[in-house]
A and B are shown apart, each in its own frame.
Chain A
Amino acid sequence: MQGRVKSPVRVRLDRLVKMRDFEPVDLERLLARGQEIFEGQPAQQFQGAVATVFYENSTRTRNSFQQAGRRLGLDALQVGREGSSIQKGETLEDTLHTLRALGAVIAAVRTPEPGALEELPDVGMPLVNAGDGWRQHPTQALADLLAVRLAGREIAGARLMIVGDILHSRVARSAADGFAMLGAEVWLAGPPTLLPPGLAQALGARQVALEDGLRAADLIMVLRLQQERMERGYLPSLGEYRREWGLTAERLALLREDAMVLHPGPQNRGVELDADVIRDPRSLIHRQIACGVAMRAALMEAMLDAR
C-alpha cells in the first residue's frame, strides 16, 4: 500500500536554493508533512536514486539525504571531491546530467560557491541546495524548525538567538530567514569580527548582547566555530572565544527554564558549548538530526511528486 501514498504538500519548487524560495504557507505544510514522516507515517514511493554531489566533505548531511531517500524508496548515488569527475574538471552541470543518466531523479548539491544552483541551467531533475558556501543551507533550517515544533514550541512570536560566527554561516542565514518567515524574532550575538556592524540588519535580525539574549530568548542556536577563524586572525584563541561567547555550564544557568538549545553539529565541545549543554534536557541537538531526515524526505517527496 505504501506506493499509493501521495504527498499532501504542493511546493511548486523545482529547485530549492534558499529559504525565501518557499511561500510561508508551503513551509507550514511541509513541516506538517515532516512531522508525519518523523512519526512513522509511510511516505510516497519513487523509482530511481537520490544523488548527493558534495564539493565539500560532510558525512552527516550526505547520510541524512541518503536516509531520507530510502524512506522514499530511492537508491543512493554519490559524487565527492576525491577521485571523482569533479576533480577532473567536469562542470557541475555535466556531473548532474551524468547522474541523471545513471538513474538519479533528484540531487542534493553542496558547493563552496554561493548561489551556484541559481545560475545552473535546467538539468531535468529537481535540485536541493545542501549548503552553498556561506550563503544558505535550507534543509538544516527545515530540520531546526521541525525540532522546535516537535518540542511543543510555537515558532510564531518566539525569540531565536543565534550565537557565534554569523559572518561565515550558511546555517545562520537560512535559520534567520526560515524562523522569520514563520513569525519568529531573530537575534544575533557574536564577536564583532564575525558579526560586523550592518550584518544583523542585512539578515533582518537584531544584534543583542550575549547574556541579555541568553536570559530572554526562547530558542538559542549555537553555531560551530571553525578552527580556520583563528588562523585568519578573526579570534585570538579558542579559550577566549569560550570565555566570551561560549555557552558554558555557567551561562546555561542564565537560560529560561523553557528555553531550548540548538546546534547544527558537529559540536566542538569546550569551545562554543560545554558538554553539560548537550546533555541538558533543554537541548534539541540530537533530535535535530532525526528531524533532518524527516524534513529532507518530506521535501524530496513534495518535489518529486510535483513533477
Chain B
Amino acid sequence: MRVDVRGARLFDPAAGLDRVADLLVEDGAIAAIGHGLPHGDETVEAEGALVTPGLCDVHVHLREPGQTHKEDIGSGLRAALAGGFTDVCAMPNTKPPIDEPWLLGQVLARAAGHPVRMHQIAAMTKGQAGAELTEFGALREAGAVAFSDDGHGVARSTVMRLALQYAQAWDALIVSHAEDPELAGAGVMHEGQVSYRLGLPGQPRSAESSIVARDLELLRDVGGRLHVAHVSTKETLALILRAREDGLQVSAEVTPHHLLLTDEAVAKMGSRAKMNPPLRTASDRDALRKALREGLIDCIATDHAPHSDREKEQGMLSAPFGVIGLETAFSSLYTDLVQEGLLSLERLVTALTAGPRERFGLAPSVVREGEAARLSVFDLAARWTVGPGALRSRSGNSALLGRSLKARALGIITEGRWHPVAE
C-alpha cells in the first residue's frame, strides 16, 4: 500500500523540517520526501495544507465502560481523528475504573483496528479510591503508559509518596490531578471576583497549588517521574519552574480551554464553562501562555470530557465538570494564539506532538525518510463554525459552541493509510 501526499507544507520542528514537497508513504513508513514523486495507490491532494507529526493528546476521557451515553471508544476516536490526532491517552476514571490488567486489556481490544491509536493510563490506586496502589507491574505488562487517579485529587500524602516510589521499579510516570478535595470543596468555579459576583461557591487557587507543592516535595524526597495534569494557576507554574531548576523530573500539560478562556466565561455561558480545574483569571491564562511559549509546559492536552446535554443543563451547582476538546484543540489554538501572534506554530505543534510523546514514552513521530508514518494533515485556510452538527463526539458540551474557527484537520496517515475526516 502506497499513499502520496502532494504539495503540502511539511512541518516538523523536532526534525528541523519546514518545506513544501511531496511525501510518499510505503508499507507504513515514509519512503520519500521530494518533488515529482511517483503516485501511490492513493493520492492526497494537499496543496496549501500543513503536514505535521501525528498529534497526540495525553488526556482524554472516553467514558467506556460505564458511561457510553456520553461517549464511547469508537465515537471518541472518531472525534480524535476529526481533530487531527493520531494518538490519545485515555484516562482510567471510567465505571469501573481501569485498575486491573484484564480491564485494561479489554478497553485496548475495543480500540484496536481504529485509525487513531488509543493508549491507556491505568488507575494509580484500586478503584481510584486513593488508598491502595494498583498492580503497576501487571498493568504495565498489559500496556499501561502511565498511572493516575485523574478525576480525583489524591488526598493522602502517604499514598502519593508510595506511588512515586513504587513506580520507579518500571521508570513509570505518575500523572497528578492536583486538587485538595477539602479546599476545592463544593466549589463549582474559580473563587474570585466573578464567583463572588455570581454568588457561586468557588475553588481557591490554593486547592491546586498546595497539592502541586506537596507532590513536588514528595518528588524531591523520594524521586520518580511526575506529570502535572491540566495546570490552571500561575502559582503552580512558579512551583514547577523551581522544581525544574532543581533538576526534578516534572512535566506539565495545559488545556486549550485554560489557554483561551477565563472565569468570565462562566458569567456568559454558565455550566458550559464549568470544568475542573476551573477557568481562572486573565493573569493565570497569560502566565500559562507564556509558560507554553517558553517551554516550561511541554504538552497541550484537551482533557476531553464529554457529558450529555441533559447532564450539563442542570445548572452550575449540579452539572458535571468538563468540556469536550478533541475536535477544536488545534483549530482554536491556531485561530486565537498562532494567528494572533501569541504563540508560534512551532511551539503549538511541538506541544501537541514531540512534547507529549516523549514524556509519555510513546513511539516518536518524525517527518523524515525511513521513519514510521504517523502524520496529521490540516487545511489552515479552512473556516468552520463549532456547532453540534460539526462535531463527531457523542456529546456537544464544547465551551466554543458558535465560535468561528480557522484551520481544520483533513485527515491522518496511520498504519500506512490515509484516513480522511469523513464529511
Chain B contact patch, size range: 10 to 19
A202 within 8 A of B: yes
**Complex interface bits, B188-221 against A, C-beta within 8 A gives 1, otherwise 0:** 0000111011111100000000000000000000
- For A134, list chain B residues within 8 Å (CB): 199-201
| Contact across chains for B317 and A135 when beta carbons are under 8 A apart | no
Shortest CB distance B142–A (Å): 41
| Contact across chains for A113 and B317 when beta carbons are under 8 A apart | yes
| Contact across chains for A114 and B200 when beta carbons are under 8 A apart | yes
What residue of chain B has the Cβ atom nearest to residue A132's Cβ?
Answer: B199
A150 within 8 A of B: no
When the two chains form the complex, which single residue of B193, B197, B201, B270 contacts A119, counting CB atoms closer than 8 Å?
A: B270
When the two chains form the complex, which single residue of A115, A116, A119, A167 contacts B198, counting CB atoms closer than 8 Å?
A: A115
A114-B193 contact given A119-B315, A133-B317, CB 8 Å threshold: no
| Contact across chains for B196 and A114 when beta carbons are under 8 A apart | no
Q: How far is the CA of A203 from the CA of B313 in the complex (A)?
A: 27
A236 within 8 A of B: no
- List 24 contacting pairs A-B, 8 Å CB cutoff, sorted by A: A113-B316, A113-B317, A113-B318, A114-B198, A114-B200, A115-B270, A115-B316, A116-B315, A118-B270, A119-B313, A119-B315, A132-B199, A133-B317, A134-B200, A135-B198, A167-B196, A170-B199, A173-B199, A198-B192, A198-B193, A201-B193, A202-B192, A202-B196, A203-B196
**Complex interface bits, B306-317 against A, C-beta within 8 A gives 1, otherwise 0:** 000000010111
When the two chains form the complex, which single residue of A115, A119, A133, A198 contacts B196, counting CB atoms closer than 8 Å?
A: A198
What residue of chain B has the Cβ atom nearest to residue A199's Cβ?
Answer: B196
What residue of chain A has the Cβ atom nearest to residue B319's Cβ?
Answer: A113
Chain A contact patch, size range: 20 to 34
| Contact across chains for B197 and A202 when beta carbons are under 8 A apart | yes
A136 within 8 A of B: yes
Q: How far is the CA of A112 from the CA of B194 in the complex (A)?
A: 18
Q: How far is the CA of A279 from the CA of B339 in the complex (A)?
A: 67
A202-B270 contact given A114-B200, A134-B199, CB 8 Å threshold: no
Contacting B at CB under 8 A, from A95-133, are: 112-116, 118-119, 132-133
| Contact across chains for A203 and B199 when beta carbons are under 8 A apart | no
Q: How far is the CA of A116 from the CA of B313 in the complex (A)?
A: 10
Shortest CB distance A214–B (Å): 24
When the two chains form the complex, which single residue of B199, B270, B313 contacts A133, counting CB atoms closer than 8 Å?
A: B199
- For A112, list chain B residues within 8 Å (CB): 317
Interface residues of A (CB under 8 A from B): 112-116, 118-119, 132-136, 167, 170, 173, 198-199, 201-203
What residue of chain B has the Cβ atom nearest to residue A120's Cβ?
Answer: B315
| Contact across chains for A113 and B315 when beta carbons are under 8 A apart | yes
- For B318, list chain A residues within 8 Å (CB): 113
- For A113, list chain B residues within 8 Å (CB): 315-318
Shortest CB distance B263–A (Å): 11
- For A167, list chain B residues within 8 Å (CB): 196
| Contact across chains for A115 and B315 when beta carbons are under 8 A apart | yes
Contacting A at CB under 8 A, from B376-395, are: none
Q: How far is the CA of A119 from the CA of B199 in the complex (A)?
A: 15
Q: How far is the CA of A199 from the CA of B192 in the complex (A)?
A: 8
When the two chains form the complex, which single residue of A114, A118, A198, A201 contacts B199, counting CB atoms closer than 8 Å?
A: A114
Q: How far is the CA of A30 from the CA of B318 in the complex (A)?
A: 35
Q: How far is the CA of A201 from the CA of B195 in the complex (A)?
A: 12
Q: How far is the CA of A202 from the CA of B197 in the complex (A)?
A: 6
What residue of chain B has the Cβ atom nearest to residue A118's Cβ?
Answer: B270
| Contact across chains for A136 and B317 when beta carbons are under 8 A apart | no
**Complex interface bits, B260-275 against A, C-beta within 8 A gives 1, otherwise 0:** 0000000000100000
- For A203, list chain B residues within 8 Å (CB): 196-197
| Contact across chains for A114 and B192 when beta carbons are under 8 A apart | no
